[in-house]
Each structure stands twice: as C-alpha cells, then as structure tokens.
Structure 1
Amino acid sequence: MYSGVRNTLAWHETLELHELVAFQSVGLMKLKMSFRKIMDSELRGIYEKSIQGLERNINELMQFYSAAPVRTARNETLTNDFAFYAGDLLAFSKASVRNYAIAITETATPELRKVLTDQLNRGIKLHERVFRYMYKHGLYPSYDLGQLLTNDVNLAQKALSMDY
C-alpha cells in the first residue's frame, strides 16, 4: 500500500504513472494473446517471464492510483476491440516518435538526418491522427484526469485478468 510523504501524488508524476500503466497494460494483453501461438519452448519461457514481470509492474503501480490528485465516481469500462487497437497504435506511434528523435541526435550524415526528420514528422502526424480518433470516440479523455485514471484501472484489471 502507498505510504508516501504526501497524501496525493503530484500532477506530473500522476501523468507519468498513467503513461506507464496504459502502455504496460496494452503490452501485457498483446503478450497474453500471443502466448499460445509460441511453439518454441525457450521463447515461450521468455514470454511467460515477460508476462509475469508486466503483471508485477502493473500491480505495483496500481497501488498509487488511490493517491492521484483527482478521482472520479464514473466507472465506464472500455470493452471494445477498437479501443484496444487504437490504444496500441497510439502507444506504437508515441514510441516511434521518441525513437526517431533519439536517432536524429545520433546522426552525422546529412542525407540520413533529412530522411529521419521527414519520417519523424510523418510519425508525429500519425500520432496526432490516432489521438484525435481516440479523443473523438471517448477513448482518451485527456482533459478529464479522473476519467483517464479510471480508464487505466479498467484496462489494467482487464489485462491482469486475461488468461494466457
């Protein structure tokens, strides 16, 4: 149980907590959906350890949600497949933007830097498009922290309860 110095988390750490729980919950669901398809025993063992690690991470992080600065009484569950796929695409596009930004800082060749910059800009546009889709359909309530955190809890509980 959370026993921090203050009774609530800071806003900025709450948002980082949200990002980590949402990203890991989607990842956990993908691993669990893929597990039965893995026939190689060594890779299957790696998947199993990864699943267990993500479950532990999510459970450890979930204890901090009660200390978030905003809570909501609403309890809407995202059960549609399109919510999962949209969230997965959003996480992928965000990770892609970060990866391109890092790669550009390591690039010495001007031609490669130009290509990477162009691809980064396309990745930013993809991220915006996915975010706007999710926002429009109520899948990413970015201006309602309480609902955002409620959605995280529901997603994490769904991921943790999935069989593999």
Structure 2
Amino acid sequence: MVLNDERPAHLAWHETLELHEIVAMQTSTLMKLEMFYPEIEDSMLQQLYRQAIEDHKNNLVELLRFYPKAPRHEKKTMGMMVEDSFFAGELLSCAKNSIKAYAAAITETATPSLREAFVKQLNQAITMHAKIFNYMHQQGYYPAYDLNQLLANDMKNAQKALGMDT
C-alpha cells in the first residue's frame, strides 16, 4: 500500500545502509561466481552459474541507479587497496553470516549442551567480527562512519565486478 505518492528527493539513511549491505554482498558473490565459472565442467551447472552471474550483474546495475539518491554530507577522500579490502570484506561477511546462523540455531536448539556450544561459538564469532571490523576500519577498508566514502567504495567495487570476464 502506497501512503504517499510523492517521490522523495533522496533515500532514507536506514534504507541507504541496507542498500549498501546488499550491493556489497552482491558484488562479493558476483566476483566469486566469476572466479569459479571457468572451473566448472558440467554444462547444466555452467548454465546455472551463467544465469546467476547475469542475475547478479543485472541486480547491481539496477541497484547502483539508487546511489545518486543516497543522502550525503561532507566529502573525504581515502585511498583503498582493493585486493586486501575484498579479502577483509569476505572475512567480515563470513563473521556476519556465522553470527546470524548461530543466533538462528540457538532458537531451534532443545539440547542444553548443544545450546551451550552454540552460545560459546556465537560469542567467539561476535568477538571475531569486532576484530575484523576494527582491522578494516583502521586500514581504511570500511569507512563505516563516512557514508559518502562507503557508497563510493560500493560503486567502485561493483563496477569492478561488473567488468570481470567469465
């Protein structure tokens, strides 16, 4: 249901951050799909990968169109080493996914000793996430407090992923 038919001049902060998360995830996934594709021998699996690659590319092109509507404030410049930032981002993504998986698993666990193991491992994943985030932030790979740079990095990385050859 549309409550207000007016189109806002810019995106809200919270949806911009969600957009950032989705673009970063789609970019990382596209890069992995592109890297794995040449190794696949099964023709049916190749077709599935090809479709997934095209879907991710189309998704990124569509989502990048929203970036000009992202809220902005003061500009800063920061150099980035893409290779290390990609690997660090992958590690951060793994930590985030682990946290989500453990949190979901805990809600389904009936055996106390298994729940205890999940909680212990969840806390380890949370600690690891913090360490990875701090590393990325200190290295300038994740400018979490600079939305302009965060979005600029997304666009640069997505454009790089879109330009990868399969």
TM-score of the aligned structures, taking structure 1 as reference length: 0.92
- Please state how far the C-alpha of 1:43 moved relative to its aligned partner: 1.5
Q: Which runs of 5+ in 2 are unaligned?
A: 1-5
Partner of 1:158: 160
Count matched residues.
161
- Pair member with larger Rg: 2
Matches within 5 A, 1:59-70: 59-70=61-72
Deviations 1:43-91 (A, max 9, x none): 1111111111111111111111010011666676745321111111111
Query: Quick one: which of 39, 42, 46 aligns to 1:40?
Result: 42
Query: Quick one: which of 140, 146, 150 aligns to 1:148?
Result: 150
AA aligned opposite 1:115: A
Q: Taking structure 1 as reference, are residues 72 and 48 closer, same or farther at Cα in structure 2, changes over 3 Å only? A: farther
Q: Structure 1 vs Structure 2: percent identity of aligned residues?
A: 48
Q: Which runs of 5+ in 1 are unaligned?
A: none
AA aligned opposite 1:120: L
Deviations 1:78-107 (A, max 9, x none): 453211111111111111111111111111
Partner of 1:117: 119
Misfit runs of 4+, over 2 Å: 71-80
C-alpha contact 2:78 2:140 (8 A) present in aligned 1: no
RMSD between aligned residues: 1.6
